Structure 1
Amino acid sequence: MEINKLFLITTLFILQSQLFLSPIQSSNSGLFREYIGALFNNVKFSDVPINPNIDFHFILAFAIDYTSISSPSPTNGQFNIFWDTDNLSPSQVSSIKNQHSNVKVALSIGGDSVGDSKAYFSPTSVDSWVSNSITSLTQIIKQYNLDGIDIDYEHFNNTDPNTFPECIGQLITKMKENGLISFASIAPFDDDQVQSHYLALWKTYGNLIDYVNFQFYGYDQGTNVSQFMAYFETQSSNYNGGKVLVSFISDGSRGLSPENGFFSACSRLKDQQELHGIFVWCADTSKAKGLGFGYEKQSQALLAN
């Protein structure tokens, strides 16, 4: 009887200990993501260094539901490709994925502009936009053998607060149900109108969104480490429960730059078990500025260790 009582007490103690320890188990992630193709600087997948010890996502930028650069007009969910298809073709997607088993490739929809015009989210209705989007994006995803989708609308014509979350939420839901994608992300930044749309989406469909590519490079140039940490805490609270990735712009022109403390901030977050991944805007700039992709290498090395 005494042995059974001792066994019971010991078992309860172990279970309590495991429950107590569970909140501080590691939530760091070895995920690196980089946007590519939007600026037509002849960058190729093979130009970007890939560390084999991390998860690596290329994000093709952008597919947009507009007609063309020469005569831009919204198409209500009928997406066309606006990335550098000469250098980032379906065969090149297959090649980079075959060469690197840790690489996945996604597409981003929306973006800032089409040529010299802003790219607005302009659905005619939720049902028609979702239907058109599923049809047009399915064709692109299958053609390019893509793995995921990123949502990066930055300008909004429709003021109805329910339209954006329902359009995007239903799109992601159907694409996952149909096995078209294995992950989805959103790319908000700190602007009242932008945040109102993405937070409404998060409130209703956050369980379907795997990553929050928050554009921390949208903050002022000269952002310091302390400010960055405060911004990260605020956005982690806004997207509560989400994997908020940190980010920088490769030429250091905005936000907390790699030269001024970005990696110090990453190390702090890693120590706090809050480094869910790093993403970069963008490979085109890294190549055009002759940066040698050094910051990409440094990011991946930090994630791998």
Structure 2
Amino acid sequence: MELPKLCVTLFVLVAFFSSHAATQAAPSNSNLFREYIGAEFNNVKFSDVPVNPNVEFHFILSFAIDYDTSSSPSPTNGKFNVFWDTENLSPSQVSSIKSQKSNVKVALSLGGDSVGGGSAYFDPSSVDSWVSNAVSSLTKIIKEYNLEGIDIDYEHFKADPDTFAECIGRLIKTLKGNGVISVASIAPFDDDDVQRHYLALWKSYGHLIDYVNFQFYAYDKGTTVSQFINYFNTQSSKYNGGKVLASFISDGSGGLSPQNGFFTACQKLKSQQKLHGIFVWSADDSKANGFRYEKQSQALLAIHH
């Protein structure tokens, strides 16, 4: 009689450890490709950009900004407006690309670098009013455009890190909880003030953030492959447990460029099971060279991801 009991005990232990192991996020590669679009108003359309059927493809509309010229004294009160090229990137064009390409999702990015001739600041008057305004204004835009996600790309701050963390964290939590979005990402870069804000957000709400669109192109132009790998590992440890994506800027103005070894670095990350995806800033600039590096990026991601 003892033997079956022992077997049952072993079975339970094996089952426990198997399920426990499954919950530990094993490093893995992904076939995710993301591209920002619409900030530079040079008539780029979704249909211009090549989409490989074997990747998961996210367009990120740039930008929705909480800049409300009618309000006084604070124009950054959570009332978001669309600041991308709506003539070429309209709700009907979102519907069209998604119906043609079943692997495409579309998100919008919040903030960006500048608005109205000055920096786009994160400067809420209170957490509660900002979150309330942001939830209602963004829900309206997201539903009108039939979008799946939001990306957080604030780069200038008048509020402290805890206020930023609470506002953005509660926004993501509410939009996900309401079923308005299924995907959330953040887009930090290696600047002390920027990192303080995003790491505070990550600490409190990282479990709700699906991807870290780290702006590796904000490092110096002429970054080498080994430097890029070091930067990638450093940021992956800061955003611990996060899916940090590799990135390049298509005008070649910074970071490790596709011409100088970006794909070599990606192959290396892939061999180490660390390539969670690639994103590009931006389709607007890539239009000039026929999106050659978008094609290359997606081809790399599509192979045995």
Return the TM-score normalized by structure 2: 0.91
What's the % identity of the aligned pairs?
Answer: 72
CA distance in 1, matches of 2:247, 2:270: 14
1:89 is matched with: 90
CA drift at 1:26: 5.5
2:248 is matched with: 248
CA drift at 1:116: 2.2
2:269 is matched with: 269
CA drift at 1:14: 7.9
Contact preservation (8 Å) 2:76, 2:121: no
Please list, as runs of the form range in 1=range in 2, the aligned pairs for 1:44-193 lying within 5 A after superposition: 44-67=45-68, 74-158=75-159, 160-193=160-193
Shift in alpha-carbon separation, 1:147–1:11, aligned structure 2, 3 A: same
Secondary structure of residue in 2 paired with 1:253 = coil
CA distance in 1, matches of 2:178, 2:10: 48
> Alpha-carbon deviations, 1:158-214, whole Å to 9, x = none?
2x3310000000000100111000010000000000000000000000000000000
Contact preservation (8 Å) 2:59, 2:106: yes
1:239 is matched with: 239
Shift in alpha-carbon separation, 1:226–1:4, aligned structure 2, 3 A: same
> Alpha-carbon deviations, 1:266-297, whole Å to 9, x = none?
0000000000000000000111xx21101000
Amino acid of the residue matched to residue 198 of structure 1? Answer: Y
2:289 is matched with: 291
CA distance in 2, matches of 1:163, 1:14: 45
Unmatched runs of 5 consecutive residues or more in structure 2: none
Secondary structure of residue in 1 paired with 2:279 = strand
Contact preservation (8 Å) 1:74, 1:120: no
CA distance in 1, matches of 2:25, 2:285: 38
Contact preservation (8 Å) 2:63, 2:84: yes
Greater Cα shift, 261-270 or 5-14: 5-14
CA distance in 2, matches of 1:115, 1:128: 23
1:213 is matched with: 213
CA drift at 1:252: 1.5
1:204 is matched with: 204
CA distance in 1, matches of 2:163, 2:21: 42
Q: Establish whether residue 35 from structure 1 lines up as the match of residue 36 from structure 2.
A: yes
CA drift at 1:9: 11
Number of residue-to-residue matches in the alignment? 299
CA drift at 1:67: 3.0
CA distance in 2, matches of 1:179, 1:16: 32
Contact preservation (8 Å) 1:188, 1:215: yes
Amino acid of the residue matched to residue 249 of structure 1? Answer: I
CA drift at 1:251: 1.7
> Alpha-carbon deviations, 1:77-116, whole Å to 9, x = none?
0001000000000000000000001000000000000142
CA distance in 2, matches of 1:200, 1:24: 22
CA distance in 2, matches of 1:221, 1:17: 47
Amino acid of the residue matched to residue 298 of structure 2? Answer: Q
CA distance in 2, matches of 1:35, 1:225: 24
CA distance in 2, matches of 1:20, 1:79: 42
Unmatched runs of 5 consecutive residues or more in structure 1: none
CA distance in 1, matches of 2:299, 2:33: 10
Return the TM-score normalized by structure 1: 0.91
